Amino acid sequence: MIITVTPNPAIDKMYWVDRLKMGRVTREEFLTRAIRSDTSAGGKGINISIFLARMGVENVAMGFVGGHTGHVVVRDLREEGVTTNFVWVNGETRTNVTVFERERAHIPILIDEEGSPVSQEEISYFLRRYKRMLKRATWVVLAGSLPPEVDADLYRVLAEMATEAGAKVLVSAHGNALTNALHAVPYLVKPDTREHLSMEGAPLTTRSKIITAGRRIIETGVRILVVSHEVTGDIVITRDTIWEIKSRVKTTQFKNLVGADDVLLGGILYMLDKGEDLEEALRFGMAAGILSAESDKKICQNTEKIEEEMAHISLERI
């Protein structure tokens, strides 16, 4: 069974507008009317859980939820067929807002809340549940930011527990949470580079810098490292091979980038869990991510279309 852990889940609120009037010049410009809007349970691990459930893979979503928005997250997950196992905390699960302007959807405006703090007592309670769940786990996904006041060591602790229980670990995070998690030598790592193009202090701005930093991570024992290079391309580093995966899709075709990166990981995980080889998994993951970005709805899943899209994904060995 696959377990996803999203310590700081969210409600993703998405708006599509003609133009976001940032400088309020006239009275009329106080108001921006949305052409369309959508709401969905979010957070990196939760997005992966939803994708996997849509692919028919049984999985359990864990983390911390609270308040009215916490109920919305849990309800959405259950409707998607994801098994839930959250610790309820004081405070409200955060809301993240994304605004897509017409013809600029590939550069959305994001407003992410920090989230509610989680106490040490709540962490201890979570750890007991997590330990129980590990007895059924084949893969554990640790993904997204940590809530305020939570020790940056959390992912390292969770990754070590999972490895000890015999599960493979996937980490998708940034900052100290990621740096510390690397000490537990996860199986698959994807640094979240949306805010900072760096990992462990090393820049990830060019192909050669990504490869240099990536090789260092792989030397520690991490099996697969996936790094976003361009919006439609990633670099994947293993002990034996380095690939550049590219899609031919133009970024102007993108309609909804929210969660697309998580769908990429969900696709890779789906294939690896089925026992497919890494090249096929990467092709599938990239195709799924691209299709998701091209659709209006967050986390698009259509196996037939993903397989069609795979033909347009190039995997070049560097």
Partner 1 sequence: MKVHQIMTKDLTSMEKDTLVRGLIFTLDNAGMSNMPIVDEEGKLIGFISEKDLIKAALPGYFEMLHSTSFIPDMNQLVKKLAQIADDPIEKYMQHDVICVEEDDDDLQAADLIIRKDLKSLPVIDKERRLVGVVKRIDLLRHLL
For partner 1, the closer CB: 167 or 210: 167
At closest approach, how far in Å is the CB of 101 from partner 1? 38
Question: Which of 53, 222 has the CB closer to partner 1?
Answer: 53
Residue type, 314: S
* Residue 24 DSSP label: -
- Amino acid letter, residue 39: T
Q: Of the two residues 102 and 131, which places its CB atom closer to partner 1 in the complex?
A: 131
- In the chain, which residue ranges form alpha helices assigned H by DSSP? 44-54, 67-79, 120-134, 154-164, 175-181, 207-219, 260-273, 278-294, 303-310
81 or 117: CB nearest partner 1: 81
3-state helix, strand, coil in the chain (%, to 5): 35, 25, 35
Distance CA 311, CA 304 (A): 12
What is the token pair recorded at 4?
A: 């996803």
Tokens of 147: 């809530």
Q: How far is the CB of 196 from partner 1 (least distance, A)?
A: 34
Between 87 and 288, name the residue whose CB sits nearer to partner 1. 87
Taking the C-alpha atoms of residue 142 and residue 61, their distance in angstroms, rounded to an integer, is 10
Q: Which amino acid does the sequence have at 217?
A: I
Give contact residues for partner 1 (rule: CB under 8 A): 60, 66-67, 70-71, 74, 78, 81-86, 88-89, 125, 128-129, 131-133, 135-136
As measured in angstroms, the least distance from the Cβ of 107 to partner 1 is: 37
Q: In the bound complex, what is the minimum distance in angstroms from residue 10's beta carbon to partner 1? A: 18
Q: Judged by CB, which is closer to partner 1: 59, or 232?
A: 59
Token pair of 2, please? 């696959």
R_g (Cα) of the chain, nearest Å = 19
Cβ proximity to partner 1: between 33 and 68 the closer is 68
| Residue 90 beta carbon to partner 1: minimum distance, rounded to whole angstroms | 8
* Structure token digits, residue 28: 């009329």
How far apart are CB 123 and partner 1 at their closest, in Å? 14
**Cβ distance to partner 1 smaller for residue 74 or 313:** 74
Chain centroid, CA 202 distance in Å = 21
Quote the least distance from Cβ 302 to partner 1, whole Å: 24
Interatomic CA distance for residues 277 and 267, integer angstroms: 13
Min CB(46)–partner 1 separation in Å: 15
Would you say 198 and 209 are in contact if contact means Cβ atoms under 8 Å apart?
A: no
